[in-house]
Structure 1
Amino acid sequence: MSRADRAVTEFISSRPPSRVDTSLRRLTRTADHSVLWFAIAAVLSVRRGAGRKAAMRGIASIALTSFTANALLKPLLPRRRPAAAELPAYRTVADPPSSSSFPSGHAASAAAFATAVVMENRRAAPVVVPLAALVGWSRVHVGVHWTSDVLVGAAIGTGVAKLTNRWWPVRPSDEARARPIDTVPALPQGEGLVIVSNPFSGPPDTDVSEEVRERLPAAHHLVVGDGVKVEDMLEDALAERGQWVRAVGVAGGDGTVATAAAVADRHGLPLVVVPGGTLNHFARDVGVYDTQEAVDATQAGEAVAVDLALVEAHPGRLDDPEDISVTRTRYFINTASIGSYPELVRLREQWQPRYGKWPAFAAALITVLQRSEKISVKIEGRWYKVWFLFVGNGPYYPRGAVPAWRPTLDSGLLDVRWLRADVRFSRLRVVIALILGALGHSRVYHQREVPSLDVELLEPSMLATDGEVVEEAGRYTFRLAEKPIPVYRRDEERWTGRDRPFQG
């Protein structure tokens, strides 16, 4: 140990007894086996959003850090702990650990948890950071570690927590950038708005239709019923209301939003989005977190430009110039995919009535991974065997990894990614690349950002858009609508002083 280590220990030994000794002994015990951090994680997990994500990242960071510090480094770097005689008995713990002193596992776990939590939820910093520092200091104070053990342990924990960002990126903000549009009409109390609410989109105990009706009393309200198509309801209402209609609105999940967006695009109308689904990816990307924010934007006439993507299913092949027919055009607001993901969605929908949404999703995922088959697809004039093809409405981040979010809504580009199945040990290589955060450098992974894409399949394959299986064809054309669609979003610079819902 260094002179500094011994000097700190001698300084602690020279201090008179106080209540601090008892408090630090208790604190260091609560941090044994990371019990303290698990308890804090449980509290953070109570509420969805940044707290729950912070807890998950914190626990994952502790697991990785504990393995690194305790299982790898301690056996490789043996070091004796401070002798019991160097500190007074009232300051030490009854049964000090006998493993290597270097590095401090407690300090490593404390730093890992605190760093991970703050990465996801900065508002927790005033609590977890000082607490982690106290846990680290307590290990020196009770005489089970040298100061350098704690400092190195804290550095390891911090580094491991930050390393999780390579394969589990922290989303910098929920809402994406988009160009403001100042030509949309204000809709006082919903005047001129035809809005459809889908009570089947979200959790069984969530139905925003009554709240929407209350907040927008002047709007023309529609509610989806069994066996009724959202598209037909909106088209009939637009035909009935005629020139009175100035905007189309939707309260529901991403699938319902995509249908309403298609109707709005065809009629050249702006779109009002109220989050009413389970995950509400599109609403969060746009920056509308609850009904009140949608109402605020409609009252003020504030909107942004958002690209709308579509896919055309063709019966013919790319090498048949005479067959240009289109069997069906599907709009999507988030993503489309071909390959194993549509099968996952199909199984989830099949099993959901019996088991519930999330158990059905887990069972479908396990099943698909076991029996996923290669598909032959022609992309950019070249044939590949792939596990899946992903098409995002706009570039998704992080690049070279699993797509998680998009930073902009009006890029004019599609994000195209595919995993090759015609490379030896492709599945194993994908797993290793993901673990190392190096998928973007793997031969198995390909990515392009293009304005349009033609895809031909050797055999017809299922297509999923926004998480729902919608089509099966042998050829698809992906492209963007001719111009972005205006979507109401309030200008936060003008709405300062009003608290936003905590989403994380």
Structure 2
Amino acid sequence: MARSSPRPSARLQTWFSATDHALFDAVAHSDNPVLDEPMRRLTRSANHSKLWMGVAAALWVFGSRSARRGAVRGMASLAATSLVTNQGAKRLRWRSRPVAGSVPRARIVRTPTSSSMPSGHSASAAAFAVGVAAENRTLGLALAPLAGLVGLSRVATGAHYPGDVAVGFGIGAGIALGLARMHPTDDEDHRPPTPESTRVPVPPRPDGEGVVLVVNPASGGGTGERIIDKVRRSLPAAEIVTIGSGDDVEAILRSAAARADVIAIGGGDGSVATAAAIALDTDTPLAVFPGGTFNHFARDIGCPTIAETVSAIERGTAAYVDVIRLNGSAVIVNTASIGAYPRFVRTRERLEHTIGKPLASVYATLSTVRRERPVRISFNGTTARTSLLFVGNSQYRSGGFAPTQRFTLDDGLLDVRVIDVDHRFATTRILAALAVGRIERSALYHRFEVPEFTVTSLDGQTLVAHDGEVGDYLRTAHFEIVSRSLAVYRPLPVPDDTGGT
């Protein structure tokens, strides 16, 4: 009886295995000193992602604003990839490692006991490089050869076959690109001009007279000191009030506002929200110097750098923006949330002074996803269980539940988003929708643009976080836009004497 020919899938698998082994032999049996000690050192440096943590730390300390964002995104992509690779992909199908002793002794490293496919080192390398590239393409391209060498080192040292490395690269790059779709990068193009109706008539202050700046010199990993140095050089008449970690920031800001024509704050979004509340109470224009980690408000008013805030003060350009009032009192300049984000903030703050904010953010994300319990809420006559309710000041450009950028801060609307998990297989459906970039079309995702919004926790008080701070425990939270109420210095065209710009 004639034997049936192998199925196409079996022939393909045989061809793949033969090719993979042939490529491995070509590298493993090559007599090249470059593949000996350098490859062994490189692969060991990438153990437990130590290499990429070091690169991220260097980008954070010495890099530009986009490089620092790239470091955070790269580590977040790496963390997600490591979880998927080690807890998921390696368990799908067992593949034996290359035979011990198949490479020169000078290259040998300790071979892990886990499945050979995929290569976790390669997946992490690709995830980090692509994550960085999402924020800074030049840096990402510069890191690509290093990521490729890490993959090569896994073959050269006998830890993996080339196919393991290729699959690892694919997984890491795919996860990083998926996260980029879920959490889009900055996009300064096509920003609409600020309407003339929001312009605030303020005089130029070329030397900073009448400006009182409140700043913590230690904020932002040294950014506070840079703010002080720049203001002293460019605005010599400005008064600078420094604060420490144990000071009552609100009391100091109120004292400063009592004698200021312009109240200026150097710090992150939480400090900006405190200063904004006092500026509203005293009807004093606010100047914001970016001194935190993300500086969402400063970026969205067009002041992502110290120099741009200084220029707006010197030239005398300011405009009104919206703020949110929570239950008629607390002022919110960016966002508020219920559900996963408060836990994220608490975990991050607990660790950031020990391991730094970028790594603390990565750990907090993984911890939150694993442990957070949904909150039962009611809104607009609807009952839901949510893992995240997001409320933004003005409409955010990007979709999903992690929006990042606004093109205007004066549209008079709240941007409300709710993830409803009170359905079968809700988590799986949400993850699938996120993976393909279709979360906005999911029946579990709700979005509203309204001037006010009320949500009630049905299981007692729940934590409401806002502007990067932990916030308060509330049973009912009422959010209301106070339209065009806060005067802030921001770059604008300077009107000429004829009324034009």
Shorter-normalised TM range: 0.5 to 0.7
Q: Does the Cα contact within 8 Å between 1:258 and 1:333 map onto a contact in 2?
A: yes
Cα deviation digits, residues 244-265 of structure 1 (max 9, x gap)? x3x4422233233224334545
TM-score by length of 1: 0.65
2:471 corresponds to which of 450, 458, 469 = 469
What residue is the counterpart of 1:237 in the other structure?
259
Q: Distance in 1 between matches of 2:89 and 2:457?
A: 49
Q: Does the Cα contact within 8 Å between 1:306 and 1:409 map onto a contact in 2?
A: no
1:218 has 2:232 as partner: no
Q: Distance in 1 between matches of 2:145 and 2:347?
A: 47
TM-score by length of 2: 0.65
What residue is the counterpart of 1:405 in the other structure?
404
1:479 corresponds to which of 478, 481, 494 = 481
Please report how far the alpha carbon of residue 393 of structure 1 lies from its aligned counterpart in structure 2 after TM superposition: 0.9
Give the alignment of 1:157-306 within 5 angstroms: 157-165=172-180, 169-172=183-186, 177=191, 179-180=193-194, 185-191=203-209, 193-199=210-216, 202=219, 208=225, 210-211=228-229, 214-215=232-233, 216-221=235-240, 226=248, 229=251, 232-233=254-255, 236-237=258-259, 245=261, 247-264=262-279, 270-277=285-292, 280-301=295-316
**CA 312–42 in structure 1, closer or farther in 2 if over 3 Å, else same:** closer
Q: Distance in 1 between matches of 2:369 and 2:80?
A: 25
**CA RMSD, Structure 1 to Structure 2 (Å):** 5.7
1:309 has 2:323 as partner: yes
Q: Distance in 2 between matches of 1:136 and 1:126?
A: 16
Cα deviation digits, residues 438-480 of structure 1 (max 9, x gap)? 6656655432222333456777777554225368575624124
1:333 has 2:351 as partner: no
Q: Does the Cα contact within 8 Å between 1:341 and 1:388 map onto a contact in 2?
A: yes
Q: Distance in 2 between matches of 1:410 and 1:270?
A: 16
Q: Does the Cα contact within 8 Å between 2:207 and 2:314 map onto a contact in 1?
A: yes
Q: Distance in 2 between matches of 1:367 and 1:66?
A: 19
Q: Does the Cα contact within 8 Å between 2:279 and 2:486 map onto a contact in 1?
A: no
Please report how far the alpha carbon of residue 272 of structure 1 lies from its aligned counterpart in structure 2 after TM superposition: 1.3
- For structure 2, the 5+ residue unaligned runs are 1-13, 61-67, 494-501
**CA 472–210 in structure 1, closer or farther in 2 if over 3 Å, else same:** same
Q: Distance in 2 between matches of 1:344 and 1:62?
A: 20
Cα deviation digits, residues 291-333 of structure 1 (max 9, x gap)? 4442233224455x573222263xxxxxxxxxxxxxx433211
Q: Distance in 2 between matches of 1:344 and 1:431?
A: 21
Q: Percent identity?
A: 30
Q: Does the Cα contact within 8 Å between 1:51 and 1:121 map onto a contact in 2?
A: no
Which range is displaced more, 22-31 or 91-100? 91-100
SS in 2 for 1:188: coil
What residue is the counterpart of 1:437 in the other structure?
434
Q: Distance in 1 between matches of 2:155 and 2:487?
A: 61
2:81 corresponds to which of 55, 61, 64 = 61
Q: Distance in 1 between matches of 2:276 and 2:203?
A: 17
Q: Does the Cα contact within 8 Å between 1:201 and 1:276 map onto a contact in 2?
A: no
1:35 has 2:46 as partner: yes
SS in 2 for 1:307: strand
What residue is the counterpart of 2:65 in the other structure?
none
Please report how far the alpha carbon of residue 385 of structure 1 lies from its aligned counterpart in structure 2 after TM superposition: 5.7
Which range is displaced more, 259-268 or 37-46? 259-268
Aligned length: 449
Please report how far the alpha carbon of residue 213 of structure 1 lies from its aligned counterpart in structure 2 after TM superposition: 5.9
What residue is the counterpart of 2:64 in the other structure?
none
Please tell me whether Structure 1 or Structure 2 has the larger radius of gyration of its CA atoms: 1
**CA 176–51 in structure 1, closer or farther in 2 if over 3 Å, else same:** farther
